[in-house]
Amino acid sequence: MGIGEVVKAVAKVPGKVTLLGEHAVVYGQPAIVAGIDRYVVVEASDLEGDEVDVYSEDISVKGVNARLGPGGAVYTCGEAIAEKAFSYVFEAIRQIRIISETVRGAAIRIKSDMPVGAGLGTSAAVAAGTCAAYSAILGLQLDPATLAELATKAELGVQGSSSGMDAHAVCLGGVNVVNKANERLTVSRLKIRGPLPLGVVETPREAPTAHAVETVARLRSRYPDLVDRLNSDIGAIVQDGVTTIESGNLTQLGELMNINHGLLSSLGVSTAAMEEAVYSARRAGAIGSKITGAGMGGSVVYLCDTDRKLGEVNSVLRNMGMVSSAVHTVEKGVSVTLV
């Protein structure tokens, strides 16, 4: 792979919602995930030397700058404040330097519609966008599937564990069934009949993704047969969801989302604020609502039978003081523009 002369590259990466199957996907069950029209934009510009300068306007920590040099990362504010926002960037840079066998400086600028930890795939999108933009200024042409694998490795480097679901969702776009069995992730795109009227509500983050995953693992260590049955039930819900989505039966999809939420709640990954958002959405007219992502705070996704009803539900939730908005599924995943 040769080194090119590109001066600047801009990567645009969608977010995602998990319609069915989170947590169980860690234990070999399938999940259904959809790319959505919330975006992370990562701009990489060539910089003399080998240091990487990173600036974020609005991701997790506002207006933070950091520099990655031979001695590690140096932040313009306290490291504990900025580390979460930038660790995915630096790990993504490391992954690209490994495959390119090249160390080149870059100025990285990040903008995001989504906060880190919202359950909308922000961390995966930051990692994927950094991989895409930085590799482009090195003259590498990487397809979305390769970028998804590299972003997954970056997530692993930061979190210590990752199913790869989020990285593939944001890189590939569309509505997909993902399944990680025997350490191999498979992705199959679903054909949807018309739009899915979806909305999301943001709730306060009480614990990171790793803690939510550990919570389920600890519960499974105490009640292995019970938790395995719950995971198997979630997998069965996903299988029904595949048929339901492809047939366009929104009412049944909503019911499956509701059942899935009950099982996730029983695994201990919900919060009082998430429960309030879930049931407020249903009372307002949503036909399905559930946790999306790892839980322990973050986002709730809800489904309505029409766009008009979605607007009504959003209005009700916002009038209750909740941060709520409509989202739309997108067919295209990560994209890169060379400047």
Domain residue extents for the chain = 8-190+331-338, 198-327
Give the residue from 155, 163, 205, 204 showing the smallest Cα distance to 187: 163
Q: Give the C-alpha separation, 255 to 199, whole Å.
A: 16
Q: Which contiguous run of DSSP H or E holds residue 179? A: strand 175-181
Q: pLDDT at position 177, please?
A: 97
- Residues in the chain with pLDDT < 50? 1-4, 61-64, 78-79, 81
Contact between 147 and 128 (Cβ < 8 Å): yes
The Cα–Cα gap between 175 and 31 comes to: 11
| Residue 1, pLDDT score | 38
Please state, in angstroms and rounded to a whole number, the distance separating the CA atoms of residues 157 and 159. 6
pLDDT at 247: 94
Q: Which position has the token pair 């999306």? A: 292
CATH topology for 8-190+331-338 is: Ribosomal Protein S5; domain 2 (3.30.230)
β-strand 184-189 against 175-181: which pairing, if any? antiparallel
Tokens for 237, please give them: 């819900």
Q: Under a CB-based contact definition with an 8 Å cutoff, are residues 137 and 106 in contact?
A: yes
What is the predicted pLDDT for the residue at 140? 93
Q: Which one of the listed residues 37, 46, 53, 166 is annotated catalytic? A: 166
Q: What tokens appear for 55 in the block?
A: 């600036």
Q: At what angle do helices 250-266 and 272-284 cross, to 10 degrees?
A: 160
Taken in order 322, 326, 329, 334, is the CA torsion positive or negative? Answer: negative
Number of CB atoms found within 10 A of residue 101's CB: 8
- Can you tell me the distance from the alpha carbon of 33 to that of 238, in angstroms, rounded to the nearest whole number? 10
Which class is domain 198-327?
A: alpha beta
Task: Determine which helix (DSSP H) or strand (DSSP E) holds 32, and give its type and residue range.
Answer: strand 30-47
Same topology between domain 8-190+331-338 and domain 198-327 = no
Using CA atoms, how far apart are residues 225 and 172, in angstroms rounded to an integer?
35
Identify which of 71, 66, 105, 104 has the alpha carbon closest to the alpha carbon of residue 88: 66
Query: Is position 166 annotated as part of the catalytic site?
Result: yes
Phi and psi torsions of 284, nearest 5°: -80, -10
